[in-house]
A and B are shown apart, each in its own frame.
Chain A
Amino acid sequence: MSVASIFPKLERLLPYVSKPIQYVGGEIGSVTKDWEATAVRWALMYPDTYEVGLPNQGIQILYEVLNGIPDVLAERTYAVRLDLEALMRQHGVPQFTHDSHRPVGAFDLFGVSFSTELGFTNLLTALDLAGIPLASEDRGEEHPIVVIGGHAAFNPEPIADFIDAVVLGDGEEAVTEITDLVRAWKAAGRPGGRDGLLLELAGTGRVYVPRFYDVEYAPEGPLRRVVPNRAGVPSRVRKYTTTDLDAWPYPRQPVVPLAETVHERYAVEIFRGCTRGCRFCQAGMITRPVRERSITAIGDMVERGLTNSGFCEVGLLSLSSADHSEINEICSGLSDRYAGTNVSLSLPSTRVDAFNITLAEQLARNGRRTGLTFAPEGGSERIRKVINKTVSEDDLIRTVATAYAEGWRQVKLYFMCGLPTETDEDVVQIARLAHAVIRAGRAAAGSKDIRATVSIGAFIPKPHTPFQWAAAADPAVVDHRIGLLKQVINSDRSLGRAIGIRYSDGEPGVVEGLLARGDRRVGAVVRRVWEEGGRFDGWSEHFSFARWQKAAQEVLGPWGIDLAWYTTREREEREILPWDHLDAGLDRQWLWREWQDALAETEQDDCRWAGCTECGVCPSQDVTIEMGPTGRRLLPL
């Protein structure tokens, strides 16, 4: 049975919506295939608008990996904006893919990648528009298998009711293996129906099927136990780790957006994973170990990516790009190759050292110059020891002064507020630091005409990190400290004028905290919020804290728990955490020791340079650190 395009129906609605180009597909790099000629069909979604979702590296990679298999079809879908959602409901138009405008409900698999928990309500909109029952248990053989991945999937419990399967970790091999199982299951006449397939997936030990686990709660609130409820389902589910990044040179032919998007560039991941060991950083914990892409593979990808896309900007991405073992050679090699062209290179790096400036200088050689950002994360040396972000105050001031001396007029400084053990004094230190930076900068630049922007993010404890047991700060405390910080920064008018302060509202952070460390009881909160109109919770113009508060009160009240129980409550060592049965490779005892070391203000080394710290990932995943130097160089093109 072929599946018709819904485009004629959609086309009638497009004259009435904002930015209609985002819905029409047809981008360079997009793929269309004959429905009939394919055996396994994936709809891949990034649960935000096209402008945010299209550049997502994970979706771009999986799209290419899957479409590279001859009998597999992968198409993309994104969250539709509210104006189109209303029209689609009114005119009976289902959630559609952008490539061939097929209804998402017709695919075998519906894969959704979550970078942030604030995308959860958008999943429900997409399921509902697709005609897929919201609850996993209500779905039949005619509905797609709803599988999620991405960093926020490392605790999928708050949306466990709405999904069929979860993949932890790197997607490249995971989607290939799932595809093989689905192909075989379909070819065999779908033995065991939908549950038969889910059982096979669960049986691999690397796909989590929430429905096959029962969760029990203790009367005081915490979990009592999580147990498989049928045979052949493992008690713990392991993450996927892709090794040898050179063997996976994606994206090769990126989808080039027609609508304007948040990142208009060719992005190449220069390494995956990070072992700096910042204790607040979930990405750095769940993506271990470090796996570098080689300098020559990076050079080849950039060349092919630019030729195929026509982009004029290259982003060298990773969790801490300046840490690549050959970053100097990569930057100078690419700068040489593209000297005299209009290609600009950018390196998102937040390292607080002179090396960061050297790299920025090299990349700026070609003309365009990007901003310079330093991320000390904590205002005092004491709090930086707690979070394991080792940088001394003197080094920081000297580094930023160097940047001003080298000609930068403005730098950005990132900090967090609400960290464990934090006091008012730790946050006030940010102001003193900013003053010292401006003073030293004026001296170094020989000019008063320099500026610094201080950006403050509210800290949110995340699963699979040493701070997973920590109490989040009350938003009122965070607000108070930010107020104090502003006051001290502006206490010196001359210095204060040179410093801009940016901070985000505390309320979305409370919801992010609830969803990040929530259990299955939170699912009913998500559903209630969505039913009350909750959409795009990551967008300040759509986010309603009142809606979340009300739903949380109504749903969680009968359990004797509340928002604060999930967010500002410190956990004990033995408390069963909702994600304990999901194995990111990290040894739970190592995480606990790191938490205790944090409280004792004891720092931890990076295993790339100082030997194994026994986090447990390499032995449990049967992988090793993959890094250079290779000694190779980029030759002129």
Chain B
Amino acid sequence: MGGKRRQPASDQPPVVQRLRVRYGKRGRMRFASHRDFARALERAIVRAAIPIAYSQGFSPHPKISYASAAPTGVSSLAEYLELGLRERMVPSQVARALDAALPVGFEVLEVAEAGQGSLADRIDSSVWTVEVPGLSERLAAVAVERFCAAERICVERMTKRGLRVLDVRGPVVRLAVSAPADAAPYGVEGLPCAILDLVVRQVTPTVRPDDVLTGLRAVADLEVFEAPRATRLAQGMLTAEGEIVDPLAADRGMACAGALSA
């Protein structure tokens, strides 16, 4: 709107350092969408005076690229992004400054200088823990057994492009009932709560924890329970042995990697 035809070309300083960030969203901030987080991050970068580089062009954008982001309503301790800086910084200092500038609930957990390759090439799977209030351990065990025995479980999900059918069984590498939690979910005493361990391969379209629960409900004819609370514990490459390789492991070897205490 109102744009001038001949715009002056902006002259942004180039990227001199790329930093990879592991961050979390927890507590009430799990209700942030990816876009909500991105706006909060961009403002935190400004408040923390981190020398972010900007794209060229008439409407410059900060150089930030995200690896696959957890959906709205889901907690995570293992989200990843990469920052392009116009001045070199000590990663641990960036970690501290950015963590302090973000709203409580968004946490910078580790910053490492980017090595070879791309972040996306180091992530193919996610590890989740899922609390399911209203589902007893016994019922959960039955459902998980049936789920794992099936070859395909198709569920429907409403996406922006309409109703899609996806197979939620195929990408699930591991699904098991875990030990019960100490605290009552949502502060409600006496409400049963099953906890599921889940490892999912990242495919397109993404199979999310709530899709897996929809599948569980379908195979075991479960009642509708309260909204589950999922937390992503890790992302990375799945090895043949079923281990997840931390995507920053290769970068961390570099001299100036900086980790905050866990």
Contact = CB atoms under 8 A, between A and B. Distances in A.
Contact of B2 (A7, A260, A312, A410): A410
A12 B227 contact: yes
Nearest to A308: B47
Contact of B73 (A15, A260, A308, A411): A15
Nearest to B229: A15
A24 B31 contact: yes
B3 A20 contact: no
A167 B62 CA distance: 44
Given A259-B36, A367-B10, A307 B2 contact: no
Interface in B1-55: 1-6, 8, 10, 28-29, 31-33, 35-36, 39-40, 42-47, 54
A219 interface: no
A342 B31 contact: no
Contact of B103 (A7, A27, A308, A367): A27
A367 B227 contact: no
Contact of B31 (A21, A28, A311, A371): A21
Given A342-B54, A369-B4, A14 B31 contact: yes
A409 B5 contact: yes
Contacts, number: 99
A371 B1 contact: yes
B47 A307 contact: yes
Given A16-B227, A369-B3, A409-B5, A310 B44 contact: yes
Contact of A312 (B5, B46, B73, B226): B46
Which residue among A7, A11, A311 has the maximum number of chain B CB atoms within 10 Å of its CB? A11
A24 B47 CA distance: 22
Contacts of B28: 7, 11, 24-26
Interface residues on B, range: 35 or more
Contacts of B190: none
A117 to B, nearest CB: 30
B3 A409 contact: yes
A550 interface: no
A19 B72 CA distance: 9
Nearest to B58: A367
Interface in A220-271: 256, 258-260, 264
B2 A411 contact: yes
B40 A258 contact: yes
Interface string B96-126: 0000010111000000000000000000000
A14 B2 contact: no
Contacts of A15: 73, 227
Nearest to A407: B4
A329 B58 CA distance: 25
A372 B35 CA distance: 29
Contacts of A19: 33
Contacts of B59: 367-368
B60 interface: yes
A367 B47 contact: no
B187 interface: yes
B158 to A, nearest CB: 13
Given A8-B187, A15-B227, A26-B103, A260 B4 contact: no
A368 B58 contact: yes
Interface residues of A, number: 42
B2 A28 contact: no
Contacts of B45: 310
Contacts of B6: 407
A495 interface: no
B60 A407 contact: no
Contact of B43 (A256, A260, A409): A256
Contact of A11 (B2, B105, B186): B186
A310 B72 CA distance: 23
A467 interface: no
A370 interface: yes
B36 to A, nearest CB: 5
Interface in A2-43: 7-8, 11-12, 14-16, 19-21, 23-28
Interface in B73-111: 73, 101, 103-105
A372 B4 CA distance: 11
Given A15-B227, A409-B5, 15 more contacts: A14-B31, A20-B73, A21-B36, A21-B72, A24-B28, A26-B104, A26-B105, A260-B35, A309-B47, A310-B42, A310-B44, A310-B45, A310-B46, A310-B101, A312-B46
10 contacts: A11-B186, A12-B227, A15-B227, A25-B28, A260-B39, A311-B46, A367-B8, A369-B3, A409-B5, A411-B2
Closest 4 CB pairs of A and B: A310-B43, A15-B227, A371-B2, A407-B4
